[in-house]
Amino acid sequence: MVYPQLPSAGLRAEPVAGAPLLCNARDHGLTGDGTTNDQPAFAALVDRLGDAYAADGRARVIYCPPGVYSIRDAGTVWRTGVSLVGAGPGATRFLLSNAGNRTDPTPLAFYTEALHGAGPDRYLEYCTFADFEIDGSGVASVDYNPLAKGLGLQYVVRGVFRNLYIHHTAATGLGCDFLQDTLIDGVLVAGCGRVDNGTELGGAGIGVGIGGWGSVERLNVVNCSAVGNATNGIFFELQTEGALRPRGIRVIGCHAQGNRFGISDWGANGLIVSACTMTGNLEAGFHVSAKGTTRTAGRGGLLTDCVIDGNVRDGVSIGNTPGPYTIRGNRISGNGRYGYHQRSLGGDETETAREIVLDGNDLYGNSLDAIRIDRPIADAMLIGNRIRGNGRQCAPAVSGGGESVRYGERRVVDRRANWRHDEHRGKVLRVGDRIAVVAANDSSELTLAPVRPGAVTAWSGDVPTPGTPYQLPDAPRTRAGITIDAPIDSASIRGNRAWDSQDPPTQTHGLWITGRGSCVDCRIEDNDLAGNADAATRLDTPPIGGRWDRNHGD
């Protein structure tokens, strides 16, 4: 990006209240040579411009020309009315490190409630961060520190985060909380949370704490990509127990790949996620749960028009929410376990979920059941879904070893095997005391999922030596289009088509009510359940009350 000279920009070059409106960082002590510690000059400039904004109310901009700006051993406390722009990722790069002060997490910029008194009456405003790169690979510490972010700001009003590349931070890449009237646009976060073991706080690509502004927080996250981050690609987490779940948050046109979870809702009200792609994530593509700090799940959200494909376990995983939630018009395909999984994840919110809606989704090629309900639901609606060719994990138990077997960091080859495509996908492979998860297979090779996001290896231990015996477990015998494995009351299951036209088919039934499941006062009608491997239905627990009518194939 080319920035105009000051006169042609129509800005005053002379100082206003002691500081110019647009500052070239090179004119204020920063070198960008990759060697000099630019942090002291950077912090001094931010303070100077912040003081000037406080004096005259005119926002300032720091422009950092192309260069590598070394930020060492201390983060910079940000000031209201100060913006930071560069010449584009790859051209303007901030290199974070803390070799001289391992106790300091060294974010590029931070402003928090605990450290700096941020709050609804002491917020940052008119701050833009645009067109630069943050490399966090030089930050390390003995213990995980959730403040070891790229950007860590709280209580921001009218903020903009645009065209940033944030990567390999020790904790969350863009970890900013309580954002009002704010835009996050075109941000790429990759390999963030590299010190997080997957269970620590933070460790996400884009992590936004919510609940600081009451019932509405107006935030748009658009056109962003989150790749290979330790926990979530993009997530929203209620920060204060008992606080109002805010409305007003939208995620549009984003891509989440290779994270532990793709996009997660841990406490919003009416989160809108639309036109996104979630693929290759290790636990789930889209995730709703009460796993956050306040153990509060999202509710009232809408997941629409997304592609949720090839995730190692579930495509959509929803647990703990009291409901409602709407899943509409999505492609949910090729996932290693269930396409949609209604489950219990523990925590406080364990009551019956209400008004879960699955409408007009295309669920196909998933390894086990397309829709799996393992938690009680009342007043659910499963309407007009296309459910085809699921149950791909159909292979019996198998073992092998000897001279035909070779191992790699992410693969197993058995030249004597003759497997059907993806018939082992999602299984846990055991080789002695080591385990790995199968992400895909062809006739003689297993492709393994990384043991954690961004990892080189898939193994829980060392790579096995050639010829070491392996074991793959048996597949579940029943793999249905819709499986009800918990009590559901007053549900409408209508207008779905569940079939399998593969040769041979792997989806055993259109609808299965298990011995633990029940269907009371439900309306199950106008479904086409013909054309599955075993039968249209399997009713280990017969429905009680309600209506069962006009279901083809039954």
pLDDT tens digits along 117-166: 999 999 999 999 999 999 999 999 878 888 999 999 999 999 999 999 99
Q: What six digits make up the tokens of 271?
A: 């989160």
Residues ≥6 apart with Cβ < 8 Å to 32: 25, 26, 38, 64, 65, 66, 67, 68, 69, 92
The phi, psi pair for 54, rounded to 5°, reads -65, -30
* H/E segment holding residue 124: strand 124-125
DSSP secondary structure letter of residue 69:
E
- Which whole number is the average pLDDT over 245-270? 96
DSSP secondary structure letter of residue 371:
E
Q: CB–CB of 320/344 below 8 Å?
A: yes
Q: What six digits make up the tokens of 494?
A: 């209508």
Strand bridging mode 445-448 / 411-414 = antiparallel
Q: CB–CB of 371/517 below 8 Å?
A: no
* Separation of first and last alpha carbons in the chain: 63
**Residue 475, CA distances (Å) to 392, 395, 425, 513, 536 in order:** 9, 6, 10, 19, 20
Closest CA to 514 of 482, 544, 549: 482
pLDDT at position 1 is 42
Residue 59 CA to residue 49 CA, distance in Å, equals 8
DSSP secondary structure letter of residue 312:
S
Residues ≥6 apart with Cβ < 8 Å to 220: 182, 183, 184, 185, 250, 252
pTM (global) more than 0.85: yes
Closest CA to 459 of 407, 527, 508, 495: 407
Residue 235 CA to residue 285 CA, distance in Å, equals 12
pLDDT at position 14 is 55
- Listed in order, strand segments (DSSP E) in 194-313 are 206-210, 216-222, 225-227, 232-238, 247-252, 255-257, 261-266, 272-274, 277-279, 284-288, 301-304, 307-309
Q: What's the whole-number average pLDDT of the chain?
A: 93
Residues ≥6 apart with Cβ < 8 Å to 27: none
- Which whole number is the average pLDDT over 95-106? 91
pLDDT at position 15 is 63
Of 341-345, 411-415, 498-502, 513-517, where does mean pLDDT reach its minimum? 341-345
Per-residue pLDDT for 488 more than 80? Answer: yes
Per-residue pLDDT for 88 more than 50? Answer: yes
**Residue 4 pLDDT grade (very low, low, confident, very high; cuts 50, 70, 90):** very low
**Residue 91, CA distances (Å) to 32, 95, 358, 510 in order:** 11, 12, 45, 55
Strand bridging mode 124-125 / 151-157 = parallel
**Residue 311, CA distances (Å) to 337, 375, 439 in order:** 9, 22, 8
Residue 165 CA to residue 318 CA, distance in Å, equals 30
**Residue 346 pLDDT grade (very low, low, confident, very high; cuts 50, 70, 90):** low
Per-residue pLDDT for 43 more than 70? Answer: yes
DSSP secondary structure letter of residue 44:
H
H-assigned helices in 388-450: none
Residue carrying the six token digits 């647990």: 319
pLDDT in tens, 306-335: 999 999 999 999 988 888 999 999 999 999
pLDDT at position 243 is 83
In our burial notation (b when 16+ CB lie closer than 10 A, e otherwise), range 374-406 reads: bbbbbbbbbbbbbbbbbbbbbbeebebbeeebb
386 - beta bridge partners? 362, 497
Per-residue pLDDT for 111 more than 60? Answer: yes
Per-residue pLDDT for 369 more than 90? Answer: yes
* H/E segment holding residue 470: strand 470-472
Q: What six digits make up the tokens of 297?
A: 């799940």
Of 125-129, 227-231, 294-298, 486-490, where does mean pLDDT reach its minimum? 294-298
The amino acid occupying position 496 is N
Per-residue pLDDT for 71 more than 60? Answer: yes
